[in-house]
Structure 1
């Protein structure tokens, strides 16, 4: 096992979670996470946050909220002229 170390694992964590690191780096980070409880915790938080944000981006705002925002934008535009 090649331990990439906490600093590298933390620095490249986001790219690792999105599978944006090369195969060698992916293996090194995965092995590090398997053996480092601190980095495992950080990876869990990052993964959970990424999933929550992803789900939130797929949800649509209620039609009533959309209408309220558009009405306020129109009022602000009229007030500026």
Structure 2
């Protein structure tokens, strides 16, 4: 393993966080993050944002809200026909 450097770590960070890089590259990025506070902070921010988006995507709107939105969309479509 070799430290991949900031440029590669930042370029491949999103793929690394989603486990989409090969094992060798993942090991290099992991090693770099262990020694580089700046990249480690960026990785923490990216992970935090990714987790927040994933949680938000799992939430669903209440059924009555869905019905209200659909009714308004239908009303707007009807008025433009």
What TM-score bracket applies, with the shorter chain setting the length?
over 0.9
In structure 1, what is the Cα distance between the partners aligned to 2:5 and 2:64? 50
Structure-2 residue corresponding to 1:7: 7
Contiguous gaps of at least 5 residues in structure 1: none
Contiguous gaps of at least 5 residues in structure 2: none
In structure 1, what is the Cα distance between the partners aligned to 2:56 and 2:64? 18
**Structure 2 residue 72 is matched with structure 1 residue 72:** yes
Deviation at 1:69, TM superposition (A): 1.0
Structure-1 residue corresponding to 2:60: 60
In structure 2, what is the Cα distance between the partners aligned to 1:64 and 1:13? 40
1:11-58 CA-to-partner distances (Å, cap 9, x unmatched) read 100000011000110000000000000001000000011111111111
Structure-2 residue corresponding to 1:44: 44
Deviation at 1:64, TM superposition (A): 2.6
TM-score, length of structure 1 as denominator length: 0.94
